[in-house]
Amino acid sequence: MEIEDFLQKKKLVSVIGLGYVGLPLALVLAKKFRVIGFDINAARVAQMQQSIDPSQELNASAFEGADITFTHQAEDLQLAHFHIVAVPTPIDEHNNPDLTPLLKASKTVGQQLKKGDYVVFESTVYPGCTEEDCVPILERESGLKFGLDFKVGYSPERINPGDKEHTVEKILKVVSGSDAEASALVAQIYGAVIQAGVYQASSIKVAEAAKVIENTQRDLNIAFMNELSVIFDRMGIDTQEVLEAAGTKWNFLKFFPGLVGGHCIGVDPYYLLHKSKEMGYTPHVITSGRKINDEMPAYIAKRLVQMLIQHGKNPGQCRVLVLGITFKENVADIRNSKVADLVRELQQYSIAVHLVDPYASAVEVAHEYNLTLYDAPEDNYDAVIVAVAHKQFAAMNLESLRALMNGKPLLLDLKGIYTRAEAIERKIAYWRL
């Protein structure tokens, strides 16, 4: 199979899974190739056919000039020769990898696979998953022989939701293939649209491992910051001020404490943990980091309760406003939201919580977390928690926040938007990580 066949549009590329990762990639590919964009959700497909991104990440202009056909009919994949699987890989309630979407996607592709086709996976997995879990399904469903009749590759996604600067075509792409020929074609396909270029890993397992440690590294660094925030809080030291001072050294890594949610940093380490334990080794550092980050919602809730009591308030009679539930600022993605965990922890203390987020869908929040999303704040709150630094919240000054609270205002600024001096000036009890 030659790259010219795709550039001349004699052969097609398919992208399976059109979420935060798949849709931007499909549209970029469709600037050079003929693309079939497949998603099992017919309602989402209908939106994309109208140049609407259901994830609210892309505007209509991103669809302009794209040679792409959106479909929810699996048989349309037969028209393609190069298939890219970009479905989510979450964890279950026990923090074990949930490969259900990936394995179902492998089955769907396998049923449409033809001799000579390529299948490239983008989903974050543990090393070995592509060849040990996905390839057997492709063989079984297609009746074809791996290596002889079809080839596979792995190119981990590096989408950063909400980032308008580091878009998919501007991020260096790691690529790999099941053999030298496969690696070369995978590199050529991606290289045709990725302006930042590609990096060819020596094997699929190396590429899989590289992806899973990218976010594990961030998880561990944030866990260290969270642990420092707990220590310094007990010492009466402002963690942010400590980090500012330490950050004056040229090689100090600038990470900050906070809630670690989303579909990457709070999830990917569990994939590596799972595979490592399978191999007979329990990683102590990774496990410890995950434990610290997962415990932060409970820690924050307990800290607020302590502050309420210190200010003569009965937590069971208090109303608290929580600003933000998405996993990061200026995005609509609520997957694995640690703010939801924080709200539940507060409710365990019988605190009435009002949740407001201009980006999140009230329907999705109710379905995913059984929580009510209010359209706008009310007033007479005993405390306000700024949980996500959406631009709308960052634009709010302390006077406007003060006006939402009663006579003994408490502000928990989890994103460090304000300063302690500002809060003291306005007689607001202030706390931040």
Query: 351-379: per-residue pLDDT in tens?
Result: 999 999 999 999 999 999 999 999 999 99
CATH of domain 217-431: 3.40.50.720
- Over its C-alpha atoms, the chain yields an Rg (Å, rounded) of 24
pLDDT at 163 over 80: no
Specify the length of the chain in residues: 433
Which amino acid is located at 389 in the chain? A
Instruction: Give yes or no: 264 in active site.
Output: yes
What is the pLDDT, as a whole number, of residue 307?
95
pLDDT at 180 over 80: yes
Q: What is the 3-state secondary structure (H, E, C) of the chain?
A: CCHHHHHCCCCEEEEECCCCCHHHHHHHHCCCCCEEEECCCHHHHHHHHCCCCCCCCCCHHHHCCCCEEEECCHHHHHHEEEEEECCCCCECCCCCECCHHHHHHHHHHHHHCCCCCEEEECCCCCCCHHHHHHHHHHHHHHCCCECCCEEEEECCCCCCCCCCCCCHHHCCEEECECCHHHHHHHHHHHHCCCCCCEEECCCHHHHHHHHHHHHHHHHHHHHHHHHHHHHHHHHCCCHHHHHHHHCCCCCCCCCCCCCCCCCCCCCHHHHHHHHHHHCCCCCHHHHHHHHHHHHHHHHHHHHHHHHHHHCCCCHHHCEEEEECCCCCCCCCCCCCCHHHHHHHHHHHCCCEEEEECCCCCHHHHHHHHCCCEECCCCCCEEEEEECCCCHHHHCCCHHHHHHCEEEEEEEEECCCCCCHHHHHHCCCEEECC
List the structure tokens of 268: 């990917």
Q: Using pLDDT thresholds of 50, 70 and 90, give the confidence band for residue 168.
A: confident
What is the pLDDT, as a whole number, of residue 336?
87
pLDDT at 261 over 90: no
Average pLDDT on 283-293 reads 95
Cβ–Cβ < 8 Å for 143, 109: no
What is the pLDDT, as a whole number, of residue 328?
87
What is the pLDDT, as a whole number, of residue 277?
94
CATH architecture of 3-202: 3-Layer(aba) Sandwich (3.40)
pLDDT at 263 over 80: no
Tens of pLDDT, residue by residue over 195-246, are: 999 999 999 999 999 999 999 999 999 999 999 999 999 999 999 999 999 9
Q: Using pLDDT thresholds of 50, 70 and 90, give the confidence band for residue 57.
A: confident
Cβ–Cβ < 8 Å for 32, 38: no
pLDDT at 314 over 90: yes
Distance CA 359, CA 342 (A): 18
Angle (deg, nearest 10), helices 284-310 and 338-348: 50
Domain map (residue ranges) of the chain: 3-202, 217-431
Tens of pLDDT, residue by residue over 324-346, are: 999 889 988 898 899 999 999 99
Percent of the chain with pLDDT over 70: 100
Cβ–Cβ < 8 Å for 110, 141: yes
The model carries a pTM of 0.90
pLDDT at 415 over 80: yes
What is the pLDDT, as a whole number, of residue 167?
83
pLDDT at 160 over 90: no
pLDDT at 1 over 90: no
What is the pLDDT, as a whole number, of residue 414?
94
Handedness of CA 387, 391, 394, 395 (dihedral sign): negative
pLDDT at 159 over 90: no
pLDDT at 164 over 80: no
Chain CA centroid to CA 254, Å = 20
What is the pLDDT, as a whole number, of residue 59?
87
- Name the residue with tokens 């040679």: 67
Distance CA 161, CA 277 (A): 31
Distance CA 3, CA 186 (A): 9
Q: Per DSSP, what are the bridge partners of residue 381?
A: 405
pLDDT at 262 over 90: no
Q: What are phi and psi of 196, to 5 degrees?
A: -75, -10
Average pLDDT on 149-163 reads 87
Average pLDDT on 17-26 reads 94
Distance CA 48, CA 164 (A): 20
What is the pLDDT, as a whole number, of residue 166?
78
- Name the residue with tokens 């549009």: 9
Same CATH fold assignment for domains 3-202 and 217-431: yes
CA distances from 123 to 38, 117, 129, 156, 234 (A): 15, 19, 10, 6, 41
Cβ–Cβ < 8 Å for 157, 122: yes
Q: Using pLDDT thresholds of 50, 70 and 90, give the confidence band for residue 181.
A: very high
Catalytic residue among 129, 134, 264, 318: 264
Distance CA 105, CA 381 (A): 47
Count CB-CB contacts under 10 A for residue 148: 8
Chain CA centroid to CA 87, Å = 12
